[in-house]
Amino acid sequence: MIRVTPDDFDPGDLITRARQKDVGAVVSFLGIVRDDGIEGMDVEAYEEVAEGDLQEIAEEAEAKFGAIHVDIVHRIGHLSVGDDIVLIVVGASHRKAAFLACEYIIDRIKEQVPIWKKEHSQDGSSRWVQGEH
Amino acid sequence: MDDTIHVRTFARFRELFGDGLEIAVAAPATVRSVAAELARVNPAGARELLDGEGNLSKSVIVMVNRERVAGAGREDVPVHPGDEVAFYPPVAGG
């Protein structure tokens, strides 16, 4: 499943669904809104582009590392401390490919996919998280 | 007939310029002329979009019809009526 969505998701359910007979290793990455003295954040995307980018990145991970199963779900909209932001689930034959593919996917997301976060402090101020790419 | 350029902006640029703008520019239009029109309409945002010489600031990302245009000369990429041109700051997802 490749999705940019305001809806919450169940990481356990997606990990369970990654099981297939040729998958011997499942690696997941879950990004969570950290309590940095913030109340929460708003996540914004160029939705018409972001989901296609995630699809491309998933296909790259399959081609480069032999990932067999890839899920990427990225939330948009208002999120509170403790909410899930992004989930990547990679299934591969062996652990090394699964680890490498998972790290590759999160690095590529940060590099390319048009998504931004605005953090809201408890004092009412807010700031855009500075992108590096 | 659709004779305007659809301009999309996101994050800090959306707050500065607004999203979903329809901009009319004289043909032959380029990324440069669209950016110049945005800056003209909104001088407060101009400093974030353009450098001192009227080129796009290096950190600004541009898409024409949802494809990135990058590298030297990106300001000279032609745009046509009905095209979607997006300007946005560095991405920060994940």
Contacts of B8 in chain A (CB under 8 A): 46
User: First and final CA of chain B: distance in angstroms?
Assistant: 40
Residues 6+ apart with CB under 8 A from B81: B1, B2, B3, B4, B5, B27
Check residue B44 and give its pLDDT.
86
Chain A interface test: which of B66, B67, B91 (most A C-beta within 10 Å): B91
Q: pLDDT digits over B39-94, tens only?
A: 998 988 999 999 988 899 999 999 999 999 999 899 999 999 999 999 999 999 99
Which whole number is the average pLDDT over A56-61?
Answer: 98
C-alpha distances out from residue A67 to A56, A61, A88, A103, A133, Å: 13, 6, 12, 12, 26
CA–CA separation, A67 vs B58, rounded Å?
35
CA–CA separation, B91 vs A114, rounded Å?
5
A21 shares contact with chain B (CB less than 8 Å): no
Torsion of CA B54, B60, B65, B69, to 10 degrees: 80
pLDDT-derived band of residue A2, with 50, 70 and 90 as boundaries? very high
What are the sequence ranges of the domains in chain A? Answer: 2-121
Q: pLDDT digits over B2-37, tens only?
A: 679 999 999 999 999 999 999 998 889 999 999 999
Torsion of CA A106, A53, A61, B94, to 10 degrees: 10
Task: Locate the chain A residue with the closest alpha carbon to B20.
Answer: A46
Which of B88, B89, B94 is nearest residue A31 as measured by Cβ atoms?
A: B94
Check residue B51 and give its pLDDT.
92
Is CATH 3.10.20.30 the right assignment for the domain spanning B5-88?
yes
Q: pLDDT digits over A86-129, tens only?
A: 999 999 999 999 999 999 999 999 999 999 999 999 999 999 99
The mean pLDDT value of chain A amounts to 97
Task: Indicate if the pLDDT at residue B1 is higher than 70.
Answer: no
Which of A31, A111, A114 is nearest residue B10 as measured by Cβ atoms?
A: A114
Q: Domain A2-121 is of which CATH architecture?
A: Alpha-Beta Complex (3.90)
A76 shares contact with chain B (CB less than 8 Å): no
Residues 6+ apart with CB under 8 A from B43: none
Query: Does the distance separating the beta carbons of B12 and A117 come in below 8 Å?
Result: no
